[in-house]
Amino acid sequence: MAPESTAPRLIDHFERGLQAPICLTWELTYGCNLSCVHCLSSSGRRDPRELTTDEAKAVIDEMNRLQVFYVNIGGGEPTIRPDFWELVEYAVAQGIGVKFSTNGLQMTAAHAQRIKESGYIDVQISLDGATPEINDPIRGQGTFDGAIRAMETLQAAGVAGFKISVVVTRTNVGQLDAFKAIADRYDAQLRLTRLRPSGRGAEVWNELHLTSTDQRDLYAWLLAHGEEVLTGDSFFHLSALGQSLPGLNLCGAGRVVCLIDPVGDVYACPFTIHESFKAGSVREAGGFTQVWRSSDLFLELREPQSAGICTKCSEFDACRGGCMAAKFFTGLPLDGPDPECVMGHGEALLASIDHTQTPRTDVDHSRGSSRRMLPLSVVSRACDESPVAGKAMAL
């Protein structure tokens, strides 16, 4: 991050919203060839109402007019859309960068070659364990090997700096050094993100979310690795433990980020697929631009937010109340502490919540029962690995 990025005045600007999102997440399909236990979009089956190829291209045209630098494409598994590469090429031809998230199962040498040739395509392989024993119970049988094969394919094509994206859980938090070693082995960059109780994540959050000890270990690890490990600004609530982590350190929902879902609905962020956070649809007159600039929800989010009891906390300036989605889907009030508040305020409140009454998403494309058995054994830390300095990146 450039040194001129840290002044508080800039944060005020971000909180009041930008002309267009810095980072736009676009989930192309609810269809998925996997059924991960923590899927934040409850994906599985395609939705018959998903945007058509022409509608998707119109959205890309709009991003171009708004000067959106790049779009994070996800799903579901975006590559199962038959027009996936057509849409990627359409965006790239207009100078819009594409970073797409994939489980890697459909990665071919030809795709890897195309990624290598383009300066505008970046790929992110999801991996939730540094070993099959930890990864597969979360993502499905054989998915560790599948992800590694995709990494080998990318490396063989000479694609350097692709991302390996890990949702940090109680079962894999002991493997951070091992994840880093995998990233180093494939000339990739490690990206760690926070487990949210969104989508099917709500079902497993209680058993998989980090303990306070895990959070302190993760914070120390992130500080030690600086900008060489990406976090998508996921862990800004941990900044209340001391020194700020790299990144903007604010909740960007509806202010600097948002989500377009497969049917064109626009939500405040990728973790808030719920009627309460739906700002509109790209199918409405005025399209995405109108939703971004004038929807009631987004305008409201850009107003100063009441932070309730958090304003009395000594660490409020560091965490600013934490993650809206994490609060909402655990049943906590939005104007209070994050459920994983490092000061312990969230934990105390959670104890008083009736867990049968917490909000659940009304958008669920899960195929049958996706719930899998989770391993109960605690993983020991992998051996220490001296980190190789990677390329610093902002997001």
Partner 1 sequence: MTAHDDSIWDPAAKWGLHPMVAVRPEAFGALVYHYDTRRLSFLKDPRLASVVNELDEGESVNQVLDRAGLSLADRQAFNRALEMLSQTQMIVRR
Distance, in Å, from the CA atom of 124 to the CA atom of 165, rounded to the nearest integer, reads 6
Say which amino acid occupies 176: L
From the CB of 66, what's the least distance to partner 1, in Å?
9
Among 65, 93, 95, 141, binds partner 1 (CB under 8 A): 95
Q: Say whether residue 70 binds partner 1 (CB under 8 A).
A: yes
Q: Say whether residue 93 binds partner 1 (CB under 8 A).
A: no
Q: Say whether residue 299 binds partner 1 (CB under 8 A).
A: no
Q: Say whether residue 7 binds partner 1 (CB under 8 A).
A: yes
User: Which stretch in 73-81, 91-99, 132-140, 365-373 sits in contact with partner 1 by CB under 8 A?
Assistant: 91-99
Q: Contact, 73 vs 98, CB < 8 A?
A: yes
Say which amino acid occupies 391: K
Q: Say whether residue 58 binds partner 1 (CB under 8 A).
A: no
Q: Say whether residue 229 binds partner 1 (CB under 8 A).
A: no
Say which amino acid occupies 87: L
Q: Say whether residue 61 binds partner 1 (CB under 8 A).
A: no
Among 52, 53, 67, 212, binds partner 1 (CB under 8 A): 67
Peptide bond into 76 cis (omega under 30): yes
Q: Which of 77/122 has CB closer to partner 1?
A: 122
User: Which stretch in 4-12, 39-47, 137-145, 359-367 sits in contact with partner 1 by CB under 8 A?
Assistant: 4-12
Start-to-end CA span in the chain (Å): 8
Q: Say whether residue 242 binds partner 1 (CB under 8 A).
A: no
Distance, in Å, from the CA atom of 167 to the CA atom of 198, rounded to the nearest integer, reads 13
Task: Give, for 146, the enclosing helix (H) or strand (E).
Answer: helix 143-156
Q: Say whether residue 160 binds partner 1 (CB under 8 A).
A: no
* C-alpha to C-alpha distances, 223 to 230, 304, 323, nearest whole angstrom: 11, 29, 20
Q: Which of 121/350 has CB closer to partner 1?
A: 121
Among 19, 211, 212, 306, binds partner 1 (CB under 8 A): 19
Q: Say whether residue 393 binds partner 1 (CB under 8 A).
A: yes
Distance, in Å, from the CA atom of 87 to the CA atom of 81, rounded to the nearest integer, reads 10
Q: Say whether residue 395 binds partner 1 (CB under 8 A).
A: yes
Give me the torsion for CA of 211, 215, 218, 219, rounded to 10°. Answer: -170
Q: Contact, 326 vs 274, CB < 8 A?
A: no
User: Which stretch in 67-75, 104-112, 218-226, 310-318 sits in contact with partner 1 by CB under 8 A?
Assistant: 67-75
**Tokens 């719930």 -> residue:** 371
From the CB of 18, what's the least distance to partner 1, in Å?
6
Q: Say whether residue 294 binds partner 1 (CB under 8 A).
A: no
Q: How many C-beta atoms surround the C-beta of residue 353 within 10 A? A: 14
Binding string, residues 110-139; x marks residues near partner 1 by CB under 8 A: ---------xx-x-----------------
* C-alpha to C-alpha distances, 134 to 61, 172, 260, 376, nearest whole angstrom: 41, 7, 31, 10
Interactions with partner 1, residue window 338-367 (CB under 8 A) = none
DSSP string, 272-304: --SGGGEEEETTSTTHHHHHHHH-HHHHHHTSP
What does the angle CA 318 – CA 319 – CA 323 come to, to the nearest 5 degrees?
165
From the CB of 174, what's the least distance to partner 1, in Å?
29
Q: Which of 175/231 has CB closer to partner 1?
A: 231
Contact footprint for partner 1 (CB under 8 A): 1-5, 7, 9-10, 13, 18-20, 22, 67, 69-70, 95, 97, 99, 119-120, 122, 391-395
